[in-house]
Amino acid sequence: MTKRWIQCGHAVIGHSPFVLHTDCVLVVENGVIQEVLKTSAVQRNPDQDWVDWSHCLVIPGFVNVHTHTTLVMVRGEAEDMGFAPAYTAGVPHGHDVSEDEAIALSRLGAYECLRFGSTTINDSYVHAHAVMPAMAELGMRVVGSSRIHDVDFSQVHLGQWHYDRAIGHQTMDQAVRLIEQVRQDPSGRLGVTINPHAPDTCSKDLLQGVARLQAETGYPVCTHLSQSEAENKTVLARDGMTPAELLDATGLLSDRLIAAHGMYLTDADLARIGRARIHLAHVPKGNATGGRIAPTRAMEAAGVQLALATDNMHGDMIEAMRWALNMGRIQAGCIDSLWNAWRVLEMATIAGARALQMDHRVGSLEVGKQADIVAIDLRVPNLQPAIQPVGALVHCGLGRDVSHVLVDGIDVVRDGELVCADASRILQDGRVAADALWARARNQM
């Protein structure tokens, strides 16, 4: 790979804290950031691969720690139905989705995430062995897992909860096979997490098995946690404890856990997960769509490590940052110095990388790290006059303001267009798959 000199109008460098550099150059070679220089210190010559982003704010690629890309299939419908698709009647479900349909839909969801600046996503749903490589072909990093559970998902949306040890063995075996598949992947774009779906869809025995698998492999575990009152009631009736207590009892509550949502935690649960220093995948827009707010300010005060995610049905991390900022301020009832644009940018980048145990490679623009870089075109009315470009991005930006995305220093989005795949084909294939699934779902009603 040739050496590249990327001229930045503004660039967010380092982390904890971030530092905004103006008029600087990132020197990238072999996919790695080698130097950060003032533009005036660089002597240009005609042979250089010079990239002019002098009109851009340059930031680390977003690390989106909790996605279900295949679930774009229910976009515009499930948001008004009250709860997650797996628990909702009248919509397509994971067990309805064929492998080809999962590939088509996940590539559509991944396209949106990448186009809007997510260079790494942590994805889980069905057919992960086929879906993850298919998404990585777009040029992004895909970390993920197949969905582990022993509940019979074909009955959950009907309100029937049956746990089957054979289903648990099958889904665990799929997770183990995926680990081996990813270890042998030559692309370097795939990674693994272990994903027990949720405390109410996994029995205590199955969760103990997940803990043993994590001890053997060292991979992060990702799950949902207290995402509904129904989950809490199910676990209390089945196990006599809260979901957080169940994860603690099974050995999963630690700083190697990424738990999504956490909207219905008791005060004791908050203290418990804070002591464990878990990573919380905060999904502010998805939560608010259902009329709920996760207690992020109390979580942070307790010691929980917050990272940002879009979950399903949309993939715009810029919008997610804005929702996270505003929901936190609503909880505090004020504007304070601790919860600002820089804080949510951290949640969207280095905090996600830390949760996925990838912060030594990605999540910030630093010498020695992979060149996963996003350029935001500031020449748009919603971001001008860009007196403070990071504040302008968080408060007024949109995913479509992303003009360029690099992964390993390679263009994967250029001038807003996908580089490594046919965007029109992705849109068409996703629509065909969704139409077929909805037709079957309506026939089952």
Burial of 255 (0-12, 13-18, 19+ CB in 10 A): middle
**Residue ranges, CATH 3.20.20.140, the chain:** 62-355
- Around 348, how many Cα atoms within 13 Å sit in the side-chain half-sphere? 33
Which stretches of the chain drop beneath a pLDDT of 70?
Answer: 1, 82-87, 445
Q: How far apart are CA 126 and CA 94, in angstroms?
A: 6
Residue 206 to residue 53: CA distance in whole angstroms: 50
Q: Which helix (H) or strand (E) holds 63?
A: strand 62-67
Cα–Cα distance, 343 to 337 (Å, whole number): 10
pLDDT for res 86: 64
- Please count the other Cβ atoms lying within 10 Å of the Cβ belonging to residue 287: 22
Question: The domain at 62-355 falls in which architecture?
Answer: Alpha-Beta Barrel (3.20)
Q: Where in the chain is the domain with CATH 2.30.40.10?
A: 4-60+367-417
Cβ–Cβ contacts within 10 Å for residue 133, how many? 17
* pLDDT at site 2: 82
By CB atoms closer than 10 A (0-12, 13-18, 19+), residue 378 is buried
Q: Is the dihedral of CA 48, 51, 54, 58 positive or negative?
A: negative
- The secondary structure of residue 305, as a DSSP letter, is E
Amino acid 327: pLDDT: 96
Per-residue confidence (pLDDT) for residue 84, from 0 to 100: 65
Helices (H), 349-422: 350-355, 389-396
DSSP 8-state secondary structure symbol assigned to residue 153: H
pLDDT at residue 380, rounded to an integer: 97
- CATH code: domain 4-60+367-417 is 2.30.40.10
Residue 150 is which amino acid? D
CA neighbours within 13 Å on the CB side: how many for 419? Answer: 14
Q: What is the side-by-side strand order in the sheet with 32-38?
A: 32-38, 19-29, 4-13, 49-60, 373-377, 402-407, 410-414, 417-418
Question: By three-state DSSP, how is residue 103 classified?
Answer: helix
| pLDDT for the residue numbered 1 | 59
311 touches 68 (CB < 8 A): yes
- CA 67 to CA 283: how far, in whole Å? 10
